[in-house]
Copies of this chain bind each other. A is one copy, B any other.
Amino acid sequence: MRHVAALAGVGIKTVSRVINDEPGVSEATRSKVLNASQQLNYQLDMAAGSLRRAGRRTLSVGLLLPSVSNPFSGEINRAMEDALGARGIAVFAASLDDDPQREKAIVAAFLGRRVDGLILTPITRSQAYVIPEHSRDLPLVFIDREPVGIEADAVVTDNATGAAKAARHLISRGHSRLAYLGDRTDIQTARERRRGFIEELGRQGIPTSTVPVRENLHDEESARLAALELLTATEPPTAIFSSQNLVTFGAMRALRELGLSKRVALIGFDDFTLADMMDPGVTVIAQHPERIGKLAAERLLARIDGDKQSPHTYVVPSELIQRGSGELLPPA
């Protein structure tokens, strides 16, 4: 900036004014400065600016997702980028891997970079460790999973209701021998989905104690094995609910191996590409990651802009998409 000022023959502050479109600069000097800055290929250093700027805005935020390589997270990431990019805010994206240690390390890295806000998918038992920052007015929005040990905005899917919807759907097709395949129990959404599913069975008069529940299935292979086991037991279930993408894939593989794809009903939580191209098409409880991402970004921006209303949890409804696998009837 000094160099530009020198080349243009003006003061350094005048350059700052031109670059930041502040008023009070004549057309003549304005173009002199712009010329000079073009010639030197000058670019404003935002970091240096934010050091002095009111509110210390860095125009960057930290986004912590289950994993940037997971399609659900990818959609959220994208929605974020779109909503925040319009305001000139850049996004640091990082992957949680459902590791509490990692969560803390990543949050620390974000804080060290003085982000203007944090959007977090947590896995720690309590997120009280961000209270100091949050009470110093650091905007904070939780996404996909609700916060524990701290009051802050959150945007989540109606996990329990969605799972209950699946249960009701299967029961209404005449199923009474249902099974549940779930993810790690330290993941809040997994617990919620199980709760919603089981409670709905209870409401519909199905004895819940006999319902096979297999949990802590975190990948395709363990889900496949669990499903195989269930399906080859005596009195196998006539319908399966799987609480997550990879678990659904594992269940699909098990069903195919046993030639049961068209005989045992399946509903999965989470939509996925080509679900309609399977045989039969896979019925799912679809989440809306783009809406979740957009809403979370909007809440964050509102907080950044000084919104002081008390924290609130926003629920984005899920949607049952019928494609065939969830509409299979139990054997007569």
Is A88 interfacial (CB 8 A cutoff)? yes
Is A70 interfacial (CB 8 A cutoff)? yes
Is A299 interfacial (CB 8 A cutoff)? no
For A, the interface residue count at a CB cutoff of 8 angstroms equals 48
In the assembled complex, which residues on chain B have CB atoms less than 8 Å from the CB atom of A278? 274, 277-278
**Shortest Cβ distance from residue A113 to the other chain B in the assembled complex, whole angstroms:** 5
In the assembled complex, which residues on chain B have CB atoms less than 8 Å from the CB atom of A253? 277
Is A58 interfacial (CB 8 A cutoff)? yes
Contact B74 A70 (CB under 8 A): yes
Q: How far is the CA of A58 from the CA of B50 in the complex (A)?
A: 14
Is A286 interfacial (CB 8 A cutoff)? no
Is A298 interfacial (CB 8 A cutoff)? no
**Shortest Cβ distance from residue A149 to the other chain B in the assembled complex, whole angstroms:** 16
In the assembled complex, which residues on chain B have CB atoms less than 8 Å from the CB atom of A45? 112, 114
Given the interface pairs A112-B43, A278-B274, the reply to whether A68 lies near B68 with Cβ below 8 Å is: yes
- Could you list 12 A-B pairs, sorted by A, with CB under 8 Å? A43-B108, A43-B112, A44-B112, A46-B113, A47-B113, A67-B78, A69-B71, A69-B75, A93-B93, A249-B273, A249-B277, A274-B274
A interface residues with partner B (beta carbon < 8 Å): 41, 43-48, 50-51, 58, 60, 67-71, 73-75, 77-78, 81, 85, 88, 90-95, 108-114, 132, 249, 252-253, 256, 272-274, 277-279
